[in-house]
Amino acid sequence: MTIDTFDKHGVKPTHWNLAPVIAQLRVSREATHNIRHQGRVRELPSREALTTIVNGLQAVLFPTHYGRPNLTDESIDYFVGDTLNTTLNRLTEQVRRGLQFSAGGGVCDEEALSEQANCVTREFAAGLPEIRALLVSDVQAAFSGDPAATSVAEIMLCYPGTIAILYYRLAHRLHQLGSPFLARLICDISHTLTGIDIHPGARIGASFFIDHGTGVVIGETAIIGQRVRLYQHVTLGAKRFPADEQGALIKGVPRHPIVEDDVVIYAGATILGRITIGAGSTIGGNVWLTQSVPAGSNVSQAQMRND
């Protein structure tokens, strides 16, 4: 008679002959296919921690919308102060981890690395009022630009474009302060939540509105002016990727569009390369555009003739 044994989860143990698999994985990890940054193990920033941090920053910027709806005039400043202090303490640790992966190799001395992280976080905190002002302009643009919007609260809680822009504005500031890896992670979390992909290196002016939003892509070197409106599935992308003599891609070269003030780009438009969309222009749905257009242009798909 055979008696089966089970572990504490009620699963019958199975023998997988793991020893050679583990040994081969170690060889791949440590030697053959080592992809560690500068060849050493480092603590990675935590997506879970960053999600908590962004939630805290949202609550600091808009306490009754993203924090506690029952806050009073007496309690709101205490809530903001406590939440901000806790959130910044969490942020500085993630900044410290992210700085280890900077383009220059990062700071090796732990004390210097921690001090640099503290400086980045301190400057980031100082910029929060400016970020809030930009976000308010974005929300106002959404409210005035969407006839379906019934309230500011609806826009802030229900519009994926607003959430994506909020994440982008926070990430862009970190990108400016020399923490690009962390900024990219924050924007990727936003991408997961909203389906909107904005690189934190892009420069976007005030009163920016993404209507509906799913599938919008904005590349690293894109520049967007003020009062610009995008609809779903708009791409501001690169037309080509220059390479050096060895065939490696040259990074950081301006390769995405410049969109000037008061431009509207409708659903499905694809705009590629370092071209300029002049102020006040309208780009119609599903347009494929690879050349600059002057201010006040109205670009649409060619109409098919039926003779």
Averaged pLDDT for residues 222-234: 98
Could you tell me the pTM of the whole model? 0.86
What is the Cα gyration radius of the chain?
24
Amino acid 292 reads S
Q: Phi/psi of residue 218, each to 5°?
A: -125, 120
- Say which residue the tokens 């979390």 belong to: 189
Whole-angstrom Cα distance, residue 120 to residue 93? 11
Write out the two tokens for 235. Answer: 């791409």
Angle at which helices 110-126 and 128-145 pack, to 10 degrees?
50
Per-residue pLDDT, 2: 54
Tell me, what's the pLDDT at 124? 98
- Reported as a single tens digit per residue, the pLDDT across 242-277 is 788 887 878 879 999 999 999 999 999 999 999 999
**Percentage, residues of the chain above pLDDT 70:** 89
Looking at residues 61-72, what average pLDDT do you find? 94
pLDDT confidence tier of residue 306, bands split at 50, 70 and 90 = low
Distant-in-sequence, close-in-space partners of 245: CB < 8 Å, separation ≥ 6: none
Confidence band for 222, pLDDT divided at 50, 70 and 90: very high
All domains of the chain in start order, with CATH: 44-196 (1.10.3130.10), 215-307 (2.160.10.10)
pLDDT at 6: 64
pLDDT at 66: 96
**Could you tell me the two tokens for 232?**
């779903």
Strand extents, DSSP E, 67-131: none
Q: What is the pLDDT of residue 173?
A: 98
Structure confidence by residue, pLDDT tens digits, 161-212? 999 999 999 999 999 999 999 999 999 999 999 999 999 999 999 999 999 9
